[in-house]
A and B are shown apart, each in its own frame.
Chain A
Amino acid sequence: MNGAHVLEANQLVKRFGDFTAVKEVSFAIDQGESFGFLGPNGAGKTSTMRMISAVSQPSSGRLSIFGLDPRTHGPEIRARLGVVPQEDTLELELSVRLNLEMFGRYFDLPRKLLRERASELLEFAQLSDRANDKVDNLSGGMKRRLTIARALINRPELLILDEPTTGLDPQARHLLWERLYRLKREGVTLIITTHYMDEAEQLCDRLVVMDHGTFVAEGAPRELIASHSTREVVELRFSTDSHEGLHDRLAPFARRVEVLPDRILLYVDEGDDTLREIHAAGIAPTSALVRRSSLEDVFLRLTGRTLVD
């Protein structure tokens, strides 16, 4: 692709009847980049993913993948993509190995090559010793790893992962992250949706925050934290039930104060300094925690704390 965009979306819209799931979003993704889509449930992430997987057609707008139009070159584009859907769609009746080999046949790859690749990918997914087991008997983490391995059978140039680690335990998540780093180092372009903020911070070079079908923020994780939050956050808890009354007393110490039912968040630059000032002013919280601001703070700031569905 020689520095050209792997993917370019212009004023992309997806409508389902009267409902508009994706509202005129534009973005471009470079070769080798790992790009994240963040957002609460129903923000339009999956609809966007399905369009850029060349599976569903945009209602309007322009989309180009590898310089090709998915409307006319769907099969050619999909031949070069790997897709990890939100829910596992493995063949439950088939063995682990056959899941990989059979999937490769859809790409017209020869059986001999697929046997070799399947062995490599089983190694990659740490499933070699389960190769002949039925998929039905695997744990959730193993199924997820197999789904990712399956998406790699055609050596994709672009890997699209829709919530790859939802429902996994910490060990399984870290193993997956490590595998995704490896792919990134090999030059595979990654597109990831997630609502785990640590995952986005770990994996994404650049990300967009989506809400109600549009992008509400865009940038590198550190940039987003810098522009939408402060460097540090002080979390205070008090023995009183009425945290509300404390808002005005704490306001002078922070750039922004957020009162939650169980605790008060102070957005500040130097947490330890702030904490000293608070103590000096005679305010005595029962517990205090100083932490670095995270993408989660940005996310909640931008998309609100109300439960979406």
Chain B
Amino acid sequence: MLTREIPRFGSRRSYHIVERNFTVYRSQWLMLVSGFFEPLFYLLSIGIGLNHLVGNITVGGRIVTYATFVAPGMLATSAMNGAMIDSIFNTFFRLKISHAYEAVLATPLEVTDVALGEVWWALARASIYAASFITCMVLLGDSPSYWVVLCWPAAILTSLAFSCVGLAACTYIRSWQDFDLVALVQLPLFLFSATFFPISLYPKWLGVIVSFSPLYQSATLLRGFSLGQLDWMMILRATYLVAIAGAGLWLAARRFRSILLP
């Protein structure tokens, strides 16, 4: 007799979720386009605006303009926000309001396909946004190194981590009011992750806490590539993000199963 298949996480069919989302968003193209303007807004407002006030800054023994310092931090933040909005907000709507997934589960797709499909979709969007952000950075002269191309996979990895966590978080949301809790986590993460000033300005104990922030790890990783300052710690930072993604996805699939298949 057949032995049971090795349990896999999702299948090729998860691609149909990407297809579904693309079909739905095709009629809402404005929302997709808005993602392209976000980097410009970030870079022009914070980068150029604060650049005049702050002046130059020292990173890893090198003096750079504030705009050059802050751009990778903004890229990390933009990747986080995009991934969180997509995975928490939109998935909540499909999971608990429109019941779109219930119909999908009556087809050959499994719960893991749905969860994985949402992550693929988030990554597809993130890779386009990240590419446009990085292009803006380069055009505005905010990244002095060719290593900046590696910001692209690193930004996608950031999106992966946050969308997996967001997918898991979204299953705990009971009503629209709970989105305040999401903001309660997201805002301090944004403010304290040394995205727009160096972590060395913090007292040592706070620096240790901040180093657990995935946004800090992402911003530091991106900054390294953008400035061309590579070190072995980067592997550790990337691994940390991969681990967070894996844990988030595992939890998400478990929670999806208990909600959709009681």
Contacts and interface: CB of A to CB of B under 8 A. Distances in A.
A93 B24 contact: yes
Interface in B101-126: 102-110
Interface in B70-125: 98-100, 102-110
Given A76-B108, A106-B109, A108-B13, A93 B28 contact: yes
B20 A102 contact: yes
A91 B100 CA distance: 7
Contacts of A224: none
Interface stretch (A52-60, A164-172, A270-278, A301-309): A52-60
B261 interface: yes
B200 interface: no
B19 interface: yes
Interface string A76-98: 10110101010101111110001
Interface in A110-168: 150-151, 154
Contacts of A81: 106
For B27, B98, B105, B110, the residue with the greatest tally of chain A CB atoms inside 10 Å of its CB is: B105
Given A56-B262, A94-B23, A94-B24, A103 B107 contact: yes
A27 interface: no
Contact of B107 (A56, A94, A106): A106
Contacts of B255: none
Interface in A36-84: 53, 55-57, 72, 74-76, 78-79, 81, 83
Contact of B100 (A57, A75, A89, A154): A89
B71 to A, nearest CB: 35
A107 interface: yes
A105 B103 contact: no
A74 B106 contact: no
Interface residues of A, number: 31
Contacts of B2: 72
B62 interface: no
For B13, B23, B24, B100, the residue with the greatest tally of chain A CB atoms inside 10 Å of its CB is: B23
Contact of A55 (B16, B19, B261): B261
A143 to B, nearest CB: 13
B98 A92 contact: yes
A14 to B, nearest CB: 9
Contacts of A89: 98-100, 102-103
B16 A105 contact: yes
A264 B239 CA distance: 78
A107 B20 CA distance: 13
A79 B110 CA distance: 12
Interface in B248-262: 261-262
B204 interface: no
Contacts of B110: 74-75
Interface string B8-23: 0001010010011001
For B28, B102, B107, B110, the residue with the greatest tally of chain A CB atoms inside 10 Å of its CB is: B107
A78 B13 contact: no
B105 A55 contact: yes
A93 B27 contact: yes
Contacts of B99: 87, 89
Contact of A78 (B4, B27, B108): B108
Given A53-B106, A74-B110, A89-B100, A106 B13 contact: yes
Contacts of B106: 53, 55, 78, 81, 83, 85, 151
Nearest to A87: B99
B103 A103 contact: yes
A41 to B, nearest CB: 18
A57 B111 CA distance: 13
Contacts of B16: 105-106, 108
Nearest to A77: B108
B116 to A, nearest CB: 14
Interface string A214-234: 000000000000000000000
A151 B110 CA distance: 17
A135 B47 CA distance: 45
B89 to A, nearest CB: 15
Contacts of B109: 75, 106
A90 B98 CA distance: 8
A278 B19 CA distance: 71
A160 to B, nearest CB: 9
Nearest to B25: A93
B64 to A, nearest CB: 45
Given A55-B261, A85-B103, 17 more contacts: A55-B105, A72-B5, A75-B108, A78-B106, A78-B108, A79-B108, A85-B106, A87-B99, A89-B99, A89-B102, A93-B27, A93-B28, A94-B27, A103-B103, A105-B19, A106-B13, A106-B109
20 contacts: A55-B106, A55-B261, A56-B261, A72-B5, A74-B110, A75-B13, A79-B108, A89-B100, A91-B20, A91-B98, A91-B100, A93-B28, A94-B24, A98-B23, A102-B23, A103-B103, A103-B107, A107-B107, A107-B108, A150-B103
Closest CB pairs A-B (n = 6):
A106-B107, A75-B108, A89-B103, A83-B106, A89-B99, A79-B108
Interface of B: 2, 4-5, 11, 13, 16, 19-20, 23-24, 27-28, 98-100, 102-110, 261-262
